[in-house]
């Protein structure tokens, strides 16, 4: 395997990517393709499952071509994916019944309220570690069964398959040969008992979802099967699956209890490794499974922020303040601070630790002197403020003081944002040399499964720091800014309740 590489497939919310990694964890080649975002109604977000598959298959082939290697030089393929996004398809034809309902989609918020009114909240949280929320897959499945003609009957007859994006890709790579998911993606469906580590019959009965629809649950690092002539000239071992945030936690080598990473992507996703025991959150965080390697399962606390990098896309596409996302830092640096302007980017509701699905984006403190630069600064600030809310909740739940925040994702390249994050938290922010940690985590998990890397200790030795951001803002200024943010969030929540 000396000259071989690992192919990581990173199927994200706005694009499909493929990366080849060498033995040192260096990127050999990368290919990426964006795909259509579909917004049928306010609060609804969909993807075309066939486009997800075609773009992912396309970039996989493109990355291998760019690397100038043959399929025989690929030791294994790993998959990481946008989580909770829900696809239901016909087992016989492989045809999706409906578009993929994306994790951001809020159409089932009212149904979630019904479930809470039925007194199911405590049971759901105790079994799954999750609150009842439209963010997760279960109510999206129920919506498809209720709203696609004939779907419920087909489901009862065992003719339908449900999967998150990992399952959909695995199904297509194996031409219907495998209907599987991994334990991390299963733990995000609101149907999986994270303590007993199995699909939960009581939850399935409560939502009237037939067990026959569900994929087999496997570990995050094992050889599930092989590609079957769909993309490559020869069959390749499919050797890892993990939800994107779980893969990023592993790629950051947050392998010890108390280590935390934040991925600054479309949303912000903060995850703390809590070791081999789950910690029940008292502060509206999610208890989830970090990964399973062999027989060992690690748990995590997670806080999901729905809108992070997406707020920059909004400034670009919605307001036209910038032409390219990378211009945001230059625009924001034109002013020393936001001048009292606060943007609460609750475009898809507020996630952790608030869980206010009906909240909407709000802008406070605007005066005649407010400029595009102030709004840009407030948008970046909002990403950091939301992250602080989650990290403080993590400290309270775990009883651990966070000593360092490891960061990755596109927006972590923004030095202004990273310094502000360090200032607000009062801890160092560590940016690794390779920030594509989601794909890297998938590659690491696949490589472990086929012996490309010996063990986790070998991988830990490969993590390299690119830059460390040290807090420098006076404590009283930090307190003042955080107080202003809390006022803004309180007002946004009050608007949602009005």
- 42-64: average pLDDT: 94
- pLDDT tens per residue across span 5-20: 999 999 998 899 999 9
Q: Quote the CA–CA distance of 269 and 256 in Å, as a whole number.
A: 18
169, 49 in Cβ contact below 8 A? no
Contacts of residue 395, Cβ cutoff 8 Å, sequence gap at least 6:
401, 402
Contacts of residue 114, Cβ cutoff 8 Å, sequence gap at least 6:
none
Q: Is the pLDDT of residue 352 over 90?
A: no
Element containing residue 477 per DSSP (H, E): helix 475-497
43, 105 in Cβ contact below 8 A? yes
Match 């918020």 to its residue by tokens.
Answer: 109
- pLDDT tens per residue across span 125-160: 999 999 898 989 999 999 999 999 999 999 999 999
Q: Sorting pLDDT into bands at 50, 70 and 90, what band is 248?
A: very high
Q: How many CB atoms lie within 10 A of CB 379?
A: 26
Residue 232, pLDDT score: 83
What is the C-alpha end-to-end distance of the chain, expressed in Å? Answer: 62
Element containing residue 100 per DSSP (H, E): strand 100-101
- 473-490: average pLDDT: 95
Instruction: Give 27's Cβ-side CA count (13 Å radius).
Output: 19
Domain locations along the chain: 5-244
Residue 46, pLDDT score: 96
Q: What does pLDDT average to over the chain?
A: 93
Q: Sorting pLDDT into bands at 50, 70 and 90, what band is 194?
A: very high
Residue 252, pLDDT score: 94
Q: Sorting pLDDT into bands at 50, 70 and 90, what band is 1?
A: low
Smallest CA-to-CA distance from 306 within 16, 497, 45 is with 45
Level-2 CATH architecture, domain 5-244:
2-Layer Sandwich (3.30)
Cα of 157 vs its chain's centroid, Å: 33
- pLDDT tens per residue across span 366-387: 999 999 999 999 999 999 999 9
Widest CA span of the chain, in angstroms? 64
């Amino acid at each position: 395997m000396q000259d071989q590489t690992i192919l990581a497939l990173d199927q994200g919310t706005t694009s499909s990517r493929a990366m080849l990694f060498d033995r040192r964890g260096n990127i050999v080649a990368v290919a990426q393709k964006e795909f259509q975002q579909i917004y049928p109604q306010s609060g609804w977000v969909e993807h075309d499952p066939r486009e997800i598959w075609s773009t992912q298959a396309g970039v996989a082939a493109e990355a291998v071509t760019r690397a100038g290697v043959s399929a025989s030089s690929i030791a294994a393929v790993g998959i990481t994916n946008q989580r909770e996004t829900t696809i239901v398809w016909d087992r016989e034809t492989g045809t999706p019944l409906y578009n993929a309902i994306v994790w951001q989609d809020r159409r089932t918020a009212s149904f979630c309220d019904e479930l809470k009114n039925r007194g199911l909240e405590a049971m759901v949280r105790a079994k799954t570690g999750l609150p009842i929320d439209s963010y997760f897959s279960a109510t999206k499945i129920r919506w498809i069964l209720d709203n696609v003609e004939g779907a419920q009957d087909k489901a009862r007859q065992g003719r339908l398959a449900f999967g998150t994006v990992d399952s959909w890709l695995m199904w297509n790579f194996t031409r219907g040969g495998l209907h599987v998911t991994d334990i991390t993606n299963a733990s995000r469906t609101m149907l999986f008992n994270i303590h007993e580590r199995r699909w939960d019959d009581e939850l399935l009965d409560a939502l009237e979802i037939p067990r026959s629809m569900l994929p087999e649950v496997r570990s995050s690092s094992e050889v599930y099967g092989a590609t079957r002539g769909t993309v490559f000239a020869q069959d390749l071992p499919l050797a890892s699956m993990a939800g994107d945030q779980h893969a990023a936690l592993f790629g950051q080598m947050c392998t010890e209890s108390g280590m935390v990473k934040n991925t600054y992507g479309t949303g912000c996703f903060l995850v703390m490794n809590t070791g081999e025991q789950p910690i029940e959150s008292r502060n509206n965080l999610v208890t989830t499974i970090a990964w399973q390697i062999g027989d060992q399962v690690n748990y995590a606390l997670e806080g999901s922020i729905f809108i992070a990098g997406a707020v920059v896309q909004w400034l670009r596409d919605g307001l036209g303040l910038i032409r390219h996302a990378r211009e945001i830092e230059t625009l924001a640096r034109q002013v020393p601070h936001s001048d009292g302007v606060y943007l609460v980017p609750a475009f898809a509701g507020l996630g952790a630790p608030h869980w206010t699905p009906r909240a909407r984006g709000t802008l406070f403190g605007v005066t005649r002197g407010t400029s595009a630069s102030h709004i840009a600064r407030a948008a970046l600030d909002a990403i950091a403020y939301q992250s602080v809310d989650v990290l403080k909740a993590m400290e309270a739940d775990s009883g651990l003081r966070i000593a360092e925040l490891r960061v990755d994702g596109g927006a972590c390249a923004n030095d202004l944002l990273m310094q502000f994050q360090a200032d607000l938290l009062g801890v160092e922010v560590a940016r690794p040399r390779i920030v594509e940690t989601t794909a890297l985590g998938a590659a690491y998990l696949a490589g472990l499964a086929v012996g490309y890397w010996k063990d986790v200790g070998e991988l830990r030795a490969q993590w390299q720091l690119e830059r460390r951001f040290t807090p420098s803002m006076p404590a009283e200024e930090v307190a003042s800014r955080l107080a202003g943010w809390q006022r803004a969030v309180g007002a946004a929540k009050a608007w949602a309740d009005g």
